[in-house]
Chain A
């Protein structure tokens, strides 16, 4: 009786191998005989199986609900079908918060070649019925952004990625870029009465993220909330719900803004004084 054996290819240092048990039944499998090896499953089904078992990678999230995980996988699949090649897909923003209190889905697509956000945005919005904000970047742009931009660091402190992200990046303090970002927070000073809680929180968060970045501290939603509590003596939720005392808040806000601006200008002056960019 001629039998076959199912084996698994194991990795060797120079050659890979399949081990056969010494006590085996059947003919044609004696030592020295020639055998024909072929895959048990086709390459296509193997790929499909691998893809379905691939889990998205969670950063800064202890867990995520199954329904959101399913949603993530479907988003990744839709985007992958759309591009010929793809380095990574990263979901960020309010979609990752607990519950379903999100208005849109923010995602980063890391890709070396094509830039066709608008068409993809329409496809995703038609398929999922949610507004998508897409930022498409090359790998090196993402790395540069992560090294020099506090917003990137904050954005990626909580995210779900298709593939692993290398976070081992040395911070580069770029005073011109930080000055540009800080200006967004100045809007609060003139328009306190007009802004809603969400805008006020974003502007405060932006300023504090820049401060933490300059001070070499970790940037995440938690660390920003903690710093806000320390500086303003107020909870994040109070700002978001617009439950703040104007005079007191603005006084601290202006003082902090000035401090951050002066820190940036001092760095700029030092750099230019040393003749280094």
Chain B
């Protein structure tokens, strides 16, 4: 059961980090390119929806997670997003705000009832 919970948290982290990264890249790109085909194929599941469905399987479902889980998830997501952003920045990607990562992760974690 514990193993199952840890696996679910791992999957939640994977999807949360992808969803946060997607938001940051979208923010960097959308003003420059309003024509991006974001509206097409929206019905296909995305990381955010999948993260929500994993969260619904982790107890406590409706309240915030225990503080140690909360901190573990937060740290993991922030580190993974930052390392992905750093790869891009090292290749010359502009307008990626590393300083906003923590705040966006906090917003997302609240939305999904982790904190």
A: residues with CB less than 8 A from B are: 104, 106, 133, 135, 137, 141-142, 144-145, 148-149, 151-152, 155, 174, 176-177, 179-181, 183-184, 186-187, 190-191, 194-195, 198-199, 202-203, 265, 268-269, 271-273
**Contact indicator A187/B35 (Cβ below 8 Å):** no
Q: How far is the CA of A144 from the CA of B29 in the complex (A)?
A: 14
Interface residues of B (CB under 8 A from A): 11, 14-15, 18, 21-22, 25-26, 28-29, 32-37, 39-47, 50, 53, 87-88, 91-93
**Nearest CB on B from A120, distance (A):** 14
Q: Give the total number of A-B pairs whose CB atoms are below 8 A apart.
A: 95
In the complex the two chains form, is A180's CB within 8 Å of B25's CB?
A: yes
User: In the complex, are the beta carbons of A202 and B53 less than 8 A apart?
Assistant: no
A144 pairs with B18, CB closer than 8 A: no
Cβ A183 vs Cβ B18 within 8 A: yes
Decide: A177 and B29 in contact? CB cutoff 8 A.
yes
New A-B contacts (19) at CB < 8 Å, excluding given A106-B40, A187-B18, A268-B88: A104-B43, A133-B39, A141-B34, A142-B35, A149-B37, A151-B37, A180-B29, A180-B36, A181-B36, A181-B37, A187-B47, A194-B50, A199-B45, A202-B41, A203-B44, A265-B88, A268-B91, A269-B92, A272-B92
Residues of B within 8 A of A183 (CB): 18, 21-22, 25
Are B37 and A190 interface neighbours, CB within 8 A?
A: no
